[in-house]
Amino acid sequence: MSWTRCFRKASLQYFCKRLYSYGQSGNSWHGTTILSVRKDDQVAVVGDGQVTMGSVVVKPNARKVRRIGDDVVAGFSGTTADALTLFERLETKMEEHPGQLLRACVSLAKDWRTDRYLRRLDALLLVSDASISLTLTGNGDVLEPEGGVVGIGSGGPFAVAAARSLLQHSSLSAEEIAKNSMKIAAEMCIYTNAEFIIETIDTKKGKIQSSNHRPKST
């Protein structure tokens, strides 16, 4: 496989380093928390609802976690319009490579890095299906962190740390771990609130289950 920008099973240290460098490069990736937790036969993706403009909260219940088809869930951190543009591009790539999320993400990352228009888009994407969870950055990276946990946004490190601990020391389900980890992130990150939207995937069926907590508006 010649996908040199794809790092499968990347170490947690490398993943954090890449996200740190992305934040230091002048890109605005604060203002949200998206978390994906994979355990047993379930994958949970959860995002908060707070939208911040400078020091002002302009919306408390935005929808940052969305479905792509019946088997993929994606969340974004960054500029909303840019993220939605990337969502549309990812949907197109998935139509070109049905059932191959990794290949679709690598193709999108290549375009994102090389296309004159796309390279200006300011966002991070977290994408999960029944078999894999990935983070896409504007640097052209497609990362699959180890341990079944991945988070993006300003509260991502808090949520990931909490989720990794709960995975090792509790019998909670993926959805319960995701909820509790996001609560901790919301308490510690001023750009994250507790208005969560959660989508879960049944890894046996390969399909998205009904979410049980949605914001009042999108």
Catalytic-residue membership of 135: no
Calculate the average pLDDT of the chain: 84
Residue 213 pLDDT > 90:
no
Pairwise CA distance, residues 83 & 89, whole Å: 10
| pLDDT, tens digit, 9 for 90 and up, residues 176-196 | 999 999 999 999 999 999 999
Pairwise CA distance, residues 120 & 200, whole Å: 31
Burial classification of residue 6, based on how many CB atoms lie within 10 Å of its CB (0-12 exposed, 13-18 middle, 19 or more buried)? buried
Residue 29 pLDDT > 60:
no
Exactly one of 4, 32, 52, 92 is catalytic; name it: 32
- Residue 215 structure tokens: 């914001």
For residue 76, name the pLDDT band (cuts at 50, 70, 90): very high
Query: pLDDT value at position 25?
Result: 43
| pLDDT, tens digit, 9 for 90 and up, residues 57-70 | 889 999 999 999 89
Query: pLDDT value at position 30?
Result: 54
Residue 9 pLDDT > 90:
no
| pLDDT, tens digit, 9 for 90 and up, residues 80-119 | 888 888 989 999 999 999 999 999 999 999 998 888 888 8
Residue extents of the structural domains in the chain: 6-208
3-state secondary structure the chain: CCCCCEEEEECHHHHHHHHHHHHHCCCCCCCCEEEEEEECCEEEEEECCCEEECCEEEECCCCCEEEECCCEEEEEEECHHHHHHHHHHHHHHHHHCCCCHHHHHHHHHHHHHHCCCHHHCCEEEEEECCCCEEEECCCCCEEEEHHHEEEEECCHHHHHHHHHHHHHHCCCCHHHHHHHHHHHHHHHCCCCCCCCEEEEEECCCCEEECCCCCCCCC
Query: pLDDT value at position 42?
Result: 96
Q: Which carries the bigger pLDDT value, residue 74 or residue 27?
A: 74
Torsion of CA 40, 41, 45, 46, to 10 degrees: -70
For residue 55, name the pLDDT band (cuts at 50, 70, 90): confident
Q: With a threshold of 0.85, does the pTM exceed it?
A: no
Q: Which carries the bigger pLDDT value, residue 175 or residue 211?
A: 175
| pLDDT, tens digit, 9 for 90 and up, residues 111-140 | 988 888 888 888 899 999 999 999 998 778
Interior angle at CA 12, CA 106 and CA 166, nearest 5:
115
For 130, phi and psi rounded to 5 degrees?
-65, -25
| pLDDT, tens digit, 9 for 90 and up, residues 148-169 | 999 999 999 999 999 999 999 9
At the topology level of CATH, where does 6-208 sit?
Glutamine Phosphoribosylpyrophosphate, subunit 1, domain 1 (3.60.20)
Query: pLDDT value at position 212?
Result: 56
